[in-house]
């Protein structure tokens, strides 16, 4: 009891009893709660980081390695089929060192034939030259050809992976590790936009004589023409390589190069949500680089690609975003091909890509004009001399264009649609097999090597010595047997 100033007695309010267990006040409890909240914070941060790392972007100058733009370029990433750029690098190094040649015929092993999902589909025991395997690898991203080349260079996938990793260390690709030559899903198959740009730059500088391998627009086997997954080739002005890639964990990847006014740029896009988006992103990066002012040295320098500091983190896993049940259709590497076959020319994607083409004076944007070179003719079996597919004695540009597939030194590099249009009025010649027309027009009975039909040889034997008009009917003979010869020389593509 207490008393108030008025003398009135007041009852004291009882003090509240603290019933909190002493356990929650103990140091162990405080530590546990701190760790719990820290774990929740880390999980939230990891989720935010994964969302923020939806894409990794980088564009550099091929000559100097100068970085023009970078976003998440130092974060580890699953490279997917961009891995095949390293596969091509290792194979060309072996060729340069004399361990094998482009004419070397390699067998398709059971391990190679078992690769999925994108492949040429040759049965075990089929022979494929290094030259043809490289073309199939870079154009169609064939997983079986990656294994054929790996076994041909190092004997096994594991040994070839060691070779790839040695090259990566030597080039300064500090974030890259490889366990297979094709980029199929593997936790330890890791790279980054930084490392991929370093690799692309090394490939350009070390093997300029083989530059055509990563710019081939299509390959032709028999009557089947298969186009490059790189949607920029033929659609973006100056585009001249290199390679695409996709797995669910990585998203849609692309390393692309383009040259304008003697200046070559390399763009890397990792984790794009679709094949369309990666092409658009790459085109935007390249445009940004080409539009950089010549006074850019006044701006803050981003350094060179090898000075980008790697970030020690786990690569993001985009499986749910890329291949989750929310997608209307499964994401695949050949989305560009499906789009090209089904999309209208006035679709937003088609309009965007076409708007990046060159502008003619007083003309509208080239929405439907796609400038591509001739498809490279590929085949199975041992190496064939160029003379067995085409003759090189015709001085016309048509013969030069027709012989590009047979001679890997000039394959598609100098064969453009403009050259074909100038040398041949027939539009089908752009995608036709090599034509042995020069052998029929030279008038010499010992020159032809294109194996003409028996009736043609009889005509040549009977008519050449006696008539000056004999070469005229002979000139059309190879054209009439073109389909027969291409069917005999080049086997048709098997079902994948």
d(CA 190, CA 250): 10
d(CA 276, CA 244): 12
* Six-digit token string for 329: 């259709």
**C-beta of residue 475 within 8 angstroms of C-beta of residue 441:** yes
Per-position b or e across 190-207, b if 16+ CB within 10 A of its CB: bbbbbbbbbbbbbbbeeb
**C-beta of residue 485 within 8 angstroms of C-beta of residue 477:** no
Residue 282 CB burial class (10 angstroms; 0-12, 13-18, ≥19): buried
d(CA 185, CA 172): 24
191 Cβ neighbours under 8 A, 6+ residues apart? 76, 77, 78, 79, 82, 83, 173, 175, 176
**C-beta of residue 270 within 8 angstroms of C-beta of residue 252:** no
Distances (CA, A) of 9 to 2, 14, 16: 6, 15, 22
* Six-digit token string for 313: 């983190």
List residues with catalytic annotation: 81, 84, 141
């Amino acid at each position: 009891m207490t008393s108030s100033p008025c003398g009135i007695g007041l009852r004291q309010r009882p003090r509240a009893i603290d019933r909190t267990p002493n356990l929650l006040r103990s140091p162990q409890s405080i530590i546990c709660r701190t760790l719990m909240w820290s774990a929740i914070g880390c999980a939230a941060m990891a989720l935010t980081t994964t969302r923020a790392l939806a894409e990794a972007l980088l564009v550099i100058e091929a000559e100097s390695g100068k970085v023009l733009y970078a976003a998440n370029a130092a974060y580890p990433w699953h490279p997917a089929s961009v891995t095949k750029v390293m596969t091509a690098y290792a194979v060309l190094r072996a060729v340069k060192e004399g361990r094998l040649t482009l004419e070397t015929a390699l067998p398709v092993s059971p391990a190679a034939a078992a690769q999925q999902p994108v492949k040429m589909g040759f049965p075990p025991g089929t022979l494929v030259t290094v030259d043809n395997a490289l073309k199939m690898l870079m154009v169609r991203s064939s997983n079986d050809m990656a294994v054929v080349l790996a076994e041909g260079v190092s004997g096994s996938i594991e040994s070839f992976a060691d070779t790839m990793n040695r090259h990566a260390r030597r080039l300064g690709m500090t974030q890259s590790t490889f366990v297979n030559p094709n980029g199929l899903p593997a936790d330890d198959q890791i790279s980054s936009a930084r490392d991929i740009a370093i690799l692309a730059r090394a490939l350009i500088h070390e093997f300029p004589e083989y530059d055509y391998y990563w710019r081939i627009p299509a390959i032709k086997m028999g009557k089947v023409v298969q186009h490059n997954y790189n949607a920029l080739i033929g659609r973006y002005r100056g585009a001249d390589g290199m390679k695409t890639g996709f797995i669910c964990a990585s998203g849609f990847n692309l390393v692309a190069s383009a040259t304008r006014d003697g200046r070559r740029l390399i763009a890397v896009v990792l984790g794009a949500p679709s094949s369309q988006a990666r092409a658009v992103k790459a085109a935007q990066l390249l445009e940004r680089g080409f539009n950089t002012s010549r006074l850019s040295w006044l701006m803050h320098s981003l350094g060179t690609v090898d000075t980008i500091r790697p970030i020690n983190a786990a690569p993001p896993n985009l499986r749910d975003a890329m291949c989750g049940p929310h997608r209307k259709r499964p994401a695949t590497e050949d989305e560009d091909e499906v789009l090209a076959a089904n999309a209208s020319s006035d679709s937003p994607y088609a309009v965007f890509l076409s708007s990046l083409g060159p502008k003619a004076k007083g003309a509208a944007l080239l929405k439907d004009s796609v400038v591509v070179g001739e498809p490279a003719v590929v085949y199975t079996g041992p190496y064939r001399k160029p003379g067995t597919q085409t003759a090189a004695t015709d001085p016309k540009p048509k013969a030069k264009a027709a012989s590009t597939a047979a001679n890997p030194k000039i394959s598609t590099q100098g064969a453009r649609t403009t050259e074909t249009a100038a040398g041949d009025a027939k539009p089908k010649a752009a995608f036709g097999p090599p034509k042995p027309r020069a052998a029929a027009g030279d008038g010499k009975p010992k020159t032809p090597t294109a194996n003409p039909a028996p009736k043609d040889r009889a005509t040549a034997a009977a008519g050449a010595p006696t008539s000056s008009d004999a070469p005229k009917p002979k000139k059309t003979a190879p054209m009439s047997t073109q389909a027969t010869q291409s069917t005999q020389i080049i086997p048709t593509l098997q079902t994948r």
